[in-house]
Chain A
Amino acid sequence: MNKFADKRPAIIFLLFILLLFLLPFVYESRNLLILLTQIFIFSIFAMSYDLLIGFTGIVSFGHAMYFGLGSYSIGIFMKRFEPDMTYFLWAVLTTIALTAIVSFIVGLLTLRLKSHFYAMLTMSLAGLFLVLAEKWRTLTFGNDGFTFRVPELFIDRTNFYLLCLIGMAAVFFGLRRFVNSPLGRVLQAIRENEQRTASLGFQVLHYKIAASVVSGVLAGIAGILYAISLRYVNTSVFSMDITLDALLMTIIGGVGTLAGPIIGAGIIEFAHDWLTGLAKEHWIFERWIIFFGIIYILVVMFFPQGIVGTLRKIAWKRKKKSYPVKSEQKAAG
């Protein structure tokens, strides 16, 4: 019984994945597929962000830098060389290498910097990458960016949809295992009380670096998928907006959970799509960032734990109410 309760979220998630997997075969809507693909990509990105902010307690405002590295890697490989699977794999390897190196260095900086300085520093680092992408015209074509062709396999929207779906599921289950590993448990201890974690004999810096690297590499992967979905890349992939998206999705969905960022990504992307539609009726809806700002403030005020956190709390309270005796026995036994 207890074991089943543990596994229940995973089973629900699997069913949900299965439904989404079947969707393109029963319901043909190109727009919906594209929107869902976008949600899967940002789910990966937001989960990677939550590993930092929600599980380890590291606040970074520069998460876009890894995303952008992934986007530019794939774009440049596809543009410069052939848009085939070999170069796609090269782009993936390059992204992993670049994001791992950068996130390792950025993780190292947590040693010397207090949290708000760290947040500012990551923000300016992402800004630095943006400037680099603007100025290194021979490689990036500057601000305007460039379009590129993608491997045959990804031209078909359904294929790409399925790839992103599988990617999201893999990241979900991979991160689930990671945060529940002995190492992952220490990350959560660091979030709760860094100094005490150190005095238990854990080398805090090593864990922060581990979290930073895993998070950075996954964000890079999300960046690759994002650029493929657009078949276009420009400097906006390094912009603050990208980081803010991850932040909003994570906080609205629920920090410190993995389902939260996915739900948050779904809400933000659907809302974005809907508001863009409404913008045709009235200009105010073009300013969708205002609406997200309002949603954000409301969530932080009334549901500081986000959607998943709040639901969990309610479920937990209900369980406590209906089996007060049972839980007592369990505690005693």
Chain B
Amino acid sequence: MATLIETNDLSITFGGHTAVDSVSISVPEKHFKSIIGPNGAGKTTFFNLLSGQLAPTKGKVFYRGNDITHFSPTKRTREGIGRSFQITNVFPNLTVLENVRLAVQSQAGIRYQMLFHYKKYRHFEEKAIDWLRLVLLDEKKDSLASNLAHGEKRKLEIAMLLALETEVLLLDEPTAGMSLEEVPAILEVIKRIKNQGNRTIILIEHKMDMILDLSDSVMVLFNGRLLADGSPEEIMKNETVQSAYLGGHYE
């Protein structure tokens, strides 16, 4: 299948410390790729390079064959690369519903309308509630986002990403910090989106056992380097990965 996202020699250095070091990958359309690696391996930084939060020191990012290395996050989202954040990143003093409604509004391309009341676009709210229902958060729609429990904020984060309906979903540890009972429901949501079959998903996940059966491929980052990239079986068998990551360093 056609390549959707490609990175070429992608690197970023923070004052002498190279957090992402010459990573070249290519992700086909409708692919499900997982990124694993110990804390501090550079996974989130790699996402920041894909979504435009950071500009690389070296290397390039391509999307559908176009060089998007210098695109802003806004532009990348509009092109079809959406992301969620590991450290919850929502609108604290707006309601849960409004958080998602804003994403729905952006997805619908209603960006500069200033003459009508926002309630005129009722269907935005209805759609937002549908997304909230999907992540089991619809009962909290009228709470302020800042009043949510940690796990609920994580769900809101995911709902906001889904509402953008981007071609690419970059999910940065969506279940991090959730209570154990909440995790299966979120994995279920991710599974369902995968099964719909129209998205390309890149998932960072610490808990490796959970994602092996979901993933078409797994890449391993270690100290900013791409240690291995292959099918889940290959990764499990890979000796370098075993010793470097699955062995001593994995807590």
Contact = CB atoms under 8 A, between A and B. Distances in A.
Interface of A: 177-178, 180-186, 188-189, 192-193, 195-204, 206, 210, 327, 330-332
Given A192-B93, A206-B112, A180 B74 contact: no
A206 B114 CA distance: 13
Contact of B78 (A182, A184, A201): A201
B189 interface: no
B51 A199 contact: yes
A185 B93 contact: no
Given A189-B91, A193-B90, A199 B53 contact: yes
Given A186-B111, A327-B142, 19 more contacts: A177-B115, A181-B116, A182-B110, A182-B112, A183-B113, A183-B114, A185-B98, A185-B101, A188-B94, A192-B94, A195-B73, A198-B73, A199-B51, A200-B106, A201-B77, A201-B106, A202-B74, A203-B111, A331-B142
A210 to B, nearest CB: 7
A189 B116 contact: no
Contacts of B83: 199
Contacts of B117: 177, 180-181
B114 A210 contact: yes
Interface of B: 51, 53, 72-74, 77-78, 82-83, 85, 89-94, 98, 101-103, 105-107, 110-119, 121, 139-142, 160, 164
19 contacts: A180-B118, A181-B114, A182-B118, A183-B111, A189-B94, A192-B94, A196-B90, A196-B91, A199-B51, A199-B77, A199-B82, A199-B83, A200-B103, A200-B160, A200-B164, A201-B164, A202-B111, A331-B142, A332-B139
Contacts of B160: 200
Contacts of A210: 112, 114
Contacts of B90: 193, 196
B114 A185 contact: no
Instruction: Say whether chain A's binding surface is mostly helix, strand, loop, or mixed.
Output: helix
Contact of A193 (B53, B91, B115): B91
A92 to B, nearest CB: 21
Contacts of B98: 185
| Max chain B C-beta neighbours (<10 A), residue from A188, A196, A331 | A196
Contacts of B116: 181-182
A99 to B, nearest CB: 18
Contacts of A199: 51, 53, 73-74, 77, 82-83
Given A182-B110, A201-B74, A201-B78, A196 B115 contact: no
B118 A185 contact: yes
Nearest to B102: A189
A156 B151 CA distance: 64
A331 B141 CA distance: 7
B51 A185 contact: no
Given A180-B118, A181-B117, A200 B77 contact: yes
B91 A195 contact: no
Contacts of A183: 111-114
B114 A182 contact: yes
B107 to A, nearest CB: 8
A182 B113 contact: yes
A188 B99 CA distance: 11
Nearest to B91: A192
A174 to B, nearest CB: 10
Contacts of A193: 89-92
A181 B113 contact: yes
B111 to A, nearest CB: 6
A183 B142 CA distance: 21
A277 to B, nearest CB: 40
Given A192-B93, A331-B139, A185 B102 contact: yes
A202 B93 CA distance: 19
B117 to A, nearest CB: 5
| Max chain B C-beta neighbours (<10 A), residue from A182, A186, A188, A331 | A182
Contacts of B110: 182
A185 B111 CA distance: 10
B165 to A, nearest CB: 11
Contacts of B103: 200
B118 A181 contact: yes
Q: Which 4 A-B pairs have the closest CB atoms?
A: A192-B91, A201-B77, A183-B114, A181-B114
A185 B105 contact: yes
A188 B105 CA distance: 14
B186 to A, nearest CB: 20
Nearest to A187: B114
Contacts of A185: 98, 101-102, 105, 118
Contacts of A200: 77, 102-103, 106, 160, 164
Nearest to A200: B106
B99 to A, nearest CB: 8
Contacts of A197: 91, 102
B106 A331 contact: no
Nearest to B166: A201
A50 B192 CA distance: 44
Contacts of A202: 74, 106, 111
Contacts of B93: 192
A188 B93 CA distance: 9
A83 B220 CA distance: 77
